Amino acid sequence: MASSWSSSLPRMDSKNLKGSTQPPNWLDLPREVTAMILQKLGAFDILMRIYPVCSVWRHIYEDPLMWRTLDMRILHTRHRRLTGHTLDKLCHRAVDRSNGLLEQIFLDQFVTADLLLHIVNRNHCIRVMRIKRCTISSEALIEAAKKLRFLEELELSLFDDLTCKSLEAVGRNCSGLRSLKLNKVLPTRSYHQSHEGNNSQAFAIAKYMGELRHLELLGNWLDGTSLVAILDGCPHLESLDLRGCRFTLTVSLRRRCSQRIKRVCFPDEHIHDEYFQALCMRT
C-alpha cells in the first residue's frame, strides 16, 4: 500500500524547485499519505492540535478509520503534565471518533473502570488491548471481558490486584485469545501472599486459556506445580517468558519446557531487553 501512495505523490523536479519561489503545497498530498504522517504524531497530539489547523486535516481527524489503532500511553514528559481528568476526556473523544472500528488500544495508568467499560461498550471488535500500571477493580475487568469476544492479544502488566476470577472471565469470554502478558517488576506483598496469588492466576490460565500461543509472566511468583499446570493446560504454547520469576526450575521441568515450546526464557536468564526496561519505568 505504501508503494501505491508513493507512486501517486506529485513528482517535483529538482531544477524547478531550485528556481521556484513557491514552497511545495503539502495540502496536495494524497489523503492517505497525510493521514499516515499525522498518525506518527501520536493520539495525544492529534487530539489536542490537529483539528483546528485546516479543513483537510479536520476531515482526516473525523474519519473513524483514523482511530482503528489508539495509543494512549504516557510516553512523553509533556503528557505527564496532563491531569487525569484531561487524559480521560481525550481518550473518550478518541474512542467516540472510532465509531466502533477500534481494533487495537494501548492504555496507561490513568484508565478508570468507567473509561474501560466505555471503551468496550463502544467497540466490540477490539483484537489487541494492552494496559499497564492501572488500578481497575476485578468487577470492571470481568464486565469488560464479556464485551471482548474478538480479543486476540491482552496485556495486564503491573497490576497489583489482578484476581484469578478476572482471568477466568477473560478465558471464558475471549475464546480467540492467543497472547497474554501478565508482567510484574517487584512483588508488592510478602513472599507467601504473592506466591499464592500468582499460583492461582497460573491455574486460571491453565484451566481457561488452553488456546494460548504466547505467554509472558516476567517477575511473577510461581512454583513448579503451577508451571506444570500451564504446560498441561496450554498445549499450543509457542513462546513462554519466565524471566525474573522467583522460583528454581528442576532439570526435568526445564527439559520439558525446552522440548515442548519453541522459545522459552527461563527465570535465571538476564533481563536486558528494551521491553522490560520500558516496563520498569514508572511515570
DSSP output for 111-175: --HHHHHHHHHH-S---EEEEES----HHHHHHHHTT-TT--EEEEET-SS--HHHHHHHHHH-T
List the beta bridge partners of residue 132: 157
The pLDDT value recorded for residue 238 is 98
CA of residue 183 relative to chain centroid, distance: 12
Supply 2's cell numbers: 505504501
Residues 6+ apart with CB under 8 A from 146: 169, 173
Residues 6+ apart with CB under 8 A from 256: 231
Closest among 53, 56, 67, 55 to 29, alpha carbons compared:
56
CA distance 142 to 162: 11
pTM equals 0.78
Per-residue pLDDT of the chain in tens (283 residues, 90 and over written 9): 444 434 444 444 444 445 555 655 555 656 566 566 566 666 766 666 665 556 656 666 566 777 888 888 876 656 667 778 888 888 998 899 889 999 999 998 889 999 999 999 999 999 999 999 888 999 999 999 999 999 999 999 988 778 999 999 999 999 999 999 999 864 444 444 444 556 899 999 999 999 999 999 998 888 999 999 999 999 999 999 999 888 888 999 999 999 999 999 999 887 765 555 555 554 3
- Asked whether 57 and 92 are in contact (CB, 8 A), the reply is no
- Asked whether 232 and 206 are in contact (CB, 8 A), the reply is yes
The pLDDT value recorded for residue 84 is 80
- Which ranges constitute the DSSP H helices of 241-282? 251-260, 274-280
Closest among 234, 237, 244 to 258, alpha carbons compared:
237
Closest among 113, 170, 128, 179 to 146, alpha carbons compared:
170
